[in-house]
Amino acid sequence: MQNYSRSVKSHLWSSRTFHRLSAIEKAVYLYLLTGPVTSDTSVYLMPLDQAALDVGVSIEEIERIIKHFEELELVVYDWDEEEICVIDYFQFGTSPIGGLNYEMYSKDFDKINSKELIGYAKESAKRADISMAFFAALQDVYPEICEDDYPIRATEKTAKDMREAAKRGRKKISERRKKVTGKEEVKPTEKEEMSPELYDDLPF
């Protein structure tokens, strides 16, 4: 997921683990959060030779740092596929809460050969705000996951979808009652239209 703006949350600098890293290790970790190969899914292909070139150190040094990060449980690296998952990407980097659509997240997941790494992203997402678009892409990989286990933040589009779905649900209820009673039902207020029990028709 290249060519998108990424941010680093300021509380990274107060992290005890990050604070104890050497200067070059801090640079590499920041590279993992913001580099040109980074994906906002937290899982992406990261060849060591590319990382070494971008950061300006030897491949041996990059290998040493990645192994150290693994010991600290900052990353999980698949040495065969050269793919990485940054465990706290959503905590310290860009959270998947908006701006990118389902197709973008899904495309990035499709590029990953190691399903185990996506599994780490699945668990990390439980501790971060995520969008419905990200959840839907994740559910393509793990159909068994449940919305209730994730802090899905309602975006403006999600709220609009919910309003429209509630109206469709209210219309169906009204039509069913009219069929039973033969009477026209009084048009509900906007608050009534948004009643939670009408969300069964949600499009996600």
Q: Is 3 left (phi over 0), alpha (psi -120 to 50) or beta?
A: left
Q: Are 144 and 177 members of one domain?
A: no
- What would you measure as the largest C-alpha separation in the chain, in angstroms? 79
Residue 12: both structure tokens together:
């990274």
Query: Do 135 and 34 belong to one domain?
Result: yes
Is the model's pLDDT at 56 over the cut of 70?
yes
Q: Are residues 184 and 102 in the same domain?
A: no
What pLDDT is recorded for position 23? 97
With a cut of 50, say whether residue 204 has pLDDT above it: no
% of the chain exceeding 90 in pLDDT: 60
24 lies in the same domain as 85: yes
Sheet-wide strand order for 75-78: 43-45, 83-86, 75-78
What average pLDDT does the segment 38-53 reach? Answer: 95
108 in the same domain as 20: yes
Res 55 pLDDT > 70: yes
What does the pLDDT look like over 185-201, one tens digit per residue? 555 554 444 444 444 44
- Based on the fold, state whether residues 42 and 84 are members of the same structural domain: yes
pLDDT, residue 165, reads: 47
The amino acid at 129: D
Asked whether residue 3 is domain-assigned, the answer is no
Residues 133 and 190 in one domain: no
pLDDT in tens, 135-170: 999 999 999 999 999 998 876 665 555 455 455 555
Pair (167, 132) in one structural domain:
no
Q: Which two tokens stand for residue 23?
A: 């200067």
| Spacing of C-alpha 58 from chain mean position | 32
- Tokens in use for 106? 């899904």
In the prediction, which pLDDT does 160 show? 57
- Same domain assignment for residues 136 and 170: no
Confidence band (pLDDT; 50, 70, 90) for 6? Answer: confident
84 and 118 share one domain: yes
- Identify the pLDDT of residue 106: 92
Q: Is residue 56 part of a domain?
A: yes
Find the DSSP H helices in the chain.
16-19, 23-34, 48-55, 59-71, 89-92, 102-110, 115-124, 132-141, 156-181, 190-193
Residue 175 belongs to domain spanning? 163-201
- Structural domains of the chain, count: 2
Residue 101 has pLDDT above 90, yes or no: no
Query: For residues 99 and 102, which has the higher predicted lDDT (pLDDT)?
Result: 102
